[in-house]
Chain A
């Protein structure tokens, strides 16, 4: 019985790994010196996690540990010459101490090699089980100091996996760290699970589950798995999208005859219909001010992206290029619209600058879907196919860098990048 309990969660994991396929042309060179603990060992290799984070961004090229001439842990151990002669622009050093209360305390510094400048020295504390969090914290701090962009390494991903097992197809809603590590099961079902969406505080997920024999929207807390069924209408119950203030949710119901966008208010548990059109209206997503939604509609004869002002109910078309633009998502500054865009019969992820109108196709594979933008706007993740297998992939908004997150087993789909 104990064995079973140990084995079951393991076999349920999709085990995402990272394959960096392309970085920017002139990445910043940085070395992360091995972080060690005085008088003990650590269960996670903090500096390897930091280096992997920075590499994955595509903006950095980290130095292989084997090439390092020295392994300083503190600033006093840094010999600038060792890093200058190998062309490093930056160096991270750090060490870990166990405090009197049993917690770990990591002290780390970022150094600019050419100017021999210490850019910061910082302390971060946590438990043994939080070593990966400590590492991502360091990555965020380093990334922000050098690029000026807030790091999103401490965020999470939600996604759906589908595996063929003895009992038939099994669908799972999973949550992992942004690097694919620490995968955890949220929901398992023989019926489809789709459309995971994060609450703005990143403490809950909404999703569509077919467990009742028809699609219904649920919300579920991450900390205690407490779940609530929010909708149970005939027809479509789909595409949940939490409002930025967390008080309401945009969603799609077809109870009045065809797919329309509704506003669900948590406090009153009421539904207000927002769109009124005989065409398909679906896939709502919020503008950051919480006053407008963008959504997909085929009211013009083909699926295109529209913007809806919730107060005035005024609808404005945003996309004009191509005959299929759907599932819009926005960068945090509302400037870049990303979506599924069909070009010459192939489905790619495209980004449209809402100020200039400029549209760029970001992906090269043919069945790309479900784009989700990192909360810092630097990267977006999407689902695609490799062979006949569903995999997750990521690309920077400028298309300069990309990586794949293939799973060892099963199909992975519908990534949703958590807020900060």
Chain B
């Protein structure tokens, strides 16, 4: 339930900033979400969510929703990629302005062993948590849950799918 709220906040922020149609937003939470969300929108995030996404694409990376909620990693590492930092800062500002509990779900690709990938998924979640805490977010709001390779986002055994699976989802 809690991550639903955050999603609404994010989605509705976009609604007010960009006037992008947002059909998936539950109407019930629009009023509360929009007010707190739009108040803290930074110029940073305007750049992140810019229109050059070229409309709705079929990609798993949801750029039309404004702020990324999925962050990707290289093989066998838990190091944040530079391109993740701007969106993570926006998440941090949002969580400081309106604290809600969120889950940081860490995942890995299918290569290597399952329990090692559980550990790797957790390291990735912890990297995101550490970054958000450094930005000033209350660490007790953030729970890291690793799913290892058990919940792949893409199913086939290709480099592309593996890249989509090595991720942390903010929920």
Contact = CB atoms under 8 A, between A and B. Distances in A.
B116 interface: yes
A236 B112 contact: no
B112 A254 contact: no
Interface in A220-259: 234-236, 238-239, 252, 254, 258-259
A378 interface: no
Contacts of A254: 119, 122
A236 B110 contact: no
Contact of A234 (B110, B143, B147, B148): B143
Contacts of B148: 194
Given A194-B114, A283-B116, A296-B116, A215 B157 contact: no
A52 interface: no
A388 B152 CA distance: 13
Contacts of A195: 114-115
A236 B122 CA distance: 7
B11 to A, nearest CB: 23
Given A234-B143, A236-B118, A388 B112 contact: no
B157 A259 contact: no
A153 interface: no
A12 interface: no
B146 interface: yes
A192 B115 CA distance: 13
B10 interface: no
Interface in B98-136: 110-116, 118-120, 122-123, 126
A370 interface: yes
Contact of B114 (A213, A369, A385): A369
A282 B151 CA distance: 20
Given A239-B115, A327-B115, A192 B145 contact: no
Interface residues of B, number: 25
Contact of B112 (A214, A239, A252, A369): A369
Contacts of A370: 113-114
Nearest to A388: B156
A282 B119 contact: yes
A340 B119 contact: no
Interface in A285-315: 296, 302-303
Given A192-B151, A258-B123, A388-B155, A296 B113 contact: yes
A303 B116 contact: yes
Given A369-B113, A370-B113, A388 B119 contact: no
A93 interface: no
B143 A283 contact: no
B34 interface: no
Contacts of A80: none
Interface string A365-395: 0010110000000000000010010000000
B14 interface: no
A326 B145 contact: no
Contacts of A347: 111-112
Given A282-B118, A342-B112, 13 more contacts: A236-B119, A238-B115, A238-B118, A258-B126, A280-B120, A282-B115, A283-B116, A326-B116, A327-B116, A370-B113, A370-B114, A385-B157, A388-B157
27 contacts: A194-B114, A194-B115, A195-B115, A213-B145, A214-B145, A234-B143, A234-B144, A236-B119, A252-B118, A254-B122, A258-B122, A280-B120, A280-B123, A282-B118, A283-B113, A302-B76, A324-B76, A326-B113, A326-B116, A327-B115, A327-B116, A340-B113, A347-B112, A369-B114, A388-B155, A388-B157, A414-B114
The 3 closest A-B pairs by CB, nearest first: A192-B150, A327-B113, A280-B119
